[in-house]
Chains A and B, each alone.
Chain A
Amino acid sequence: MKKHATSGKAKGFTLIEMTIALGMTLGIASTIVGILQQQVAFIGLVSRFQFLRDEAPMIDSLLTTIINKADSYRIYGNIGNAKAGSGAVQEDGRALRLRFRNPDGTVSNAIISFENQAGKNRLNFYLQPQGQTSWPTTPSWTISSRPTLVDFSNTSGILLIAMTGPNGEQITYAGNPD
C-alpha cells in the first residue's frame, strides 16, 4: 500500500487501495463464515447419525447377549401385561419377557421393556430376583434412552427387534434364544 509522503506528512491511501483492501477483507470474512457454516453442518450431520453409528450396535450387543442366554421368550403389548404374563402378542410388542433356567434347575425371569417414564422413552431391563414372584417397580437398569420406538415381533418364527432412532432412522435386529 503506497503512502504519499511528498512533504514528509502522511496524506493517507488512495481510493483504489482502500477498495482493494476492503474487498479482500470482506472476502476473508466471508471465507471464515463459510468455514464456520461448513463445520456446523458437519457436526450436525455427524450427530444425526450417532444413533445408527454408536448406539444401535451397543443395544444390539446387549440384547443379543441377554436373549441368547434365555430359554424362551414371549412378547407383550406393555410392561403390565408382561409382568402379569397375560395377553401375549405376535407383533406391536413393547415388552419382551424372557425365561432363564439357572444351573441349579430353578428359573429366573426378566423383562425388556420399551416404555415412557417421566416423559422420556427408555428401553429398560427388569430382573425378577430368583425365588420371588413379584417384579421390581423400578427397572434394574436402562439399556438405552435414545430410541424413540422399539418394536418386538415374531410373525415369521424369529424374534425381530425394530428400533427407531431420534431422527426417524430404523434398524432391525433378529435373534432367537439358543
Chain B
Amino acid sequence: MRIAKSKRKLVSGSALIEISLSYATLVFVAMVTLRASLNATSNQAWTVKQTMSDAFITRETALATRVPFDDITGSNSLWAVSPGVTTSSVTIGVLPGGQSVTGTLHRTRIPDANNLSSAGGTGTSATNPSGTEAWKLQSILVYTVTDKQYVKSRTVLRIR
C-alpha cells in the first residue's frame, strides 16, 4: 500500500499492483527452485546409474579373467565368436523402492590375427610355431539414463 507523502492519501489501486508484483516474483522464484531441483535430481539419476553400471561391469571383467579357457572357446561360450554377438537383458541394480535398473549386455570374442586357422586366425605354423591362441573377450553394456543411451565396455585378453 503506497501513500503519497505530499498529499498524505492513498493512491488508488496501488496495493493491487504491489501484490501482483510480489505474486509474480514468488512464482518466478518457485519456477527457478523447481528447475534447480529437477537439474539436481537429473544429475543424481546419472550418477547412480554410472555407479550401478560401473559395479556391473566389474563382474564382466572378473568373469572374463576367471572363466576356464576351454569354456571360452567351447560351443556354450558366453562370448560368441565375432562377428556374432551374444545379447542378453541384465539387471544392473535396484533403485530405492525396488525398481530394477536394466541394461543390455553384448558379448563377443575376437581372435588374434596370428591364431591358427583352427582358432579363428590366419596364422600358420611358420608365424605361430607354438600354436599360441589369443582371444579378446569383449563385454558391452548398453543402458539409458532418461532419454540418453550410454555404452560401457571392457575387454580382457586371454592367451594360452
Contacts and interface: CB of A to CB of B under 8 A. Distances in A.
Interface of A: 1-3, 5, 17, 20-21, 24-25, 27-28, 31-32, 34-35, 38-39, 42, 45-46, 48-49, 51-53, 56-57, 60, 64, 156-160, 165, 167-176
A2 B2 CA distance: 11
B97 A56 contact: no
Given A39-B33, A160-B59, A169 B93 contact: yes
A46 B40 contact: yes
B19 interface: yes
A146 to B, nearest CB: 13
Interface stretch (B24-32, B102-110, B118-126): B24-32
Interface in B82-125: 93-98
Interface residues of B, number: 43
A169 B15 CA distance: 52
A169 B94 contact: yes
B10 A175 contact: no
Contacts of B66: 157-158, 176
A31 B51 contact: no
Interface string B9-21: 1101111100110
